[in-house]
Amino acid sequence: MEGLLDHGLRDILTRVGGVDRCVSEFIRITDQLLPSRSFVRVVPELKHGSRTPAGVPVRPQLLGSDPVCLAENAARLAELAPAGIDLNFGCPAKTVNRHRGGAVLLDEPELIHAIVAAVRRAVPAPIAVSAKMRLAYAAAAACSTARMPSPAQAPASWPCTRAPRRTATGHRPTGSRSPPCAKPCACPSSPTAKSGAPTTPPAAAR
């Protein structure tokens, strides 16, 4: 979560224990290729093997809507040997959505496919690519994942979904807890410190 889950908090939480992987605040990608220092500023763990002082891997997260620009920045980020790259399709902030970023892209599943495919092609195979998505952002987004091409066509290592605290109309869903990672995916069995959205998939989803 931007402004909250920074490297200081990641350090504290991972020293306490119980966290097996962290995902950073989002790094906004617009129309330029960022220098390496921009990634390191948000994820200083990149200078230490992409791990916190406690040894927990940290995955930088990118947010944007231009497949080419995201792919180029992902390739630049890959030069720093991150413990994976995450793509943000879940941020509900209106300011971010107005600039065509985050959960608003759930209304454009073909664009999400293009982004994931472009980033996957740009990043070396050993570096995992994951995607964060949100449930019930809007009525039209409810079946976005169903309209998405198969993972075989744009293979992210695993997509993770987060149930909203409120729907687009302000309704608070009953018992809206984060569900397991969406199928099909190759999910790890450990929880993830991802913007407050831990996921622990059942064996059937792995």
Q: Measure the CA–CA gap between 185 and 151, rounded to whole angstroms.
A: 8
Strands ordered across the beta sheet of 58-63:
158-162, 129-134, 85-89, 58-63, 22-28, 193-194
The residue extents of the domains of the chain are 7-188
DSSP of 91-115, one letter per residue? ---HHHHHTT-GGGGGG-HHHHHHH
Q: Measure the CA–CA gap between 182 and 130, rounded to whole angstroms.
A: 12
Residue 95 exposed, middle or buried by CB count within 10 Å (0-12, 13-18, 19+): exposed
Q: Which residue has the tokens 């093997």?
A: 49
> What would be the CATH architecture of the domain defined by 7-188?
Alpha-Beta Barrel (3.20)
The active-site residue, picked from 69, 91, 185, 187, is: 91
pLDDT digits (tens, 9 = 90+) for 122-160: 999 999 999 888 765 554 444 444 444 454 555 555 555
pLDDT digits (tens, 9 = 90+) for 2-51: 667 799 999 999 999 999 999 999 999 999 999 999 999 999 999 999 99
Residue 104 exposed, middle or buried by CB count within 10 Å (0-12, 13-18, 19+): buried
91 catalytic? Reply is: yes
User: What predicted TM-score, i.e. pTM, was given to this entire model?
Assistant: 0.71
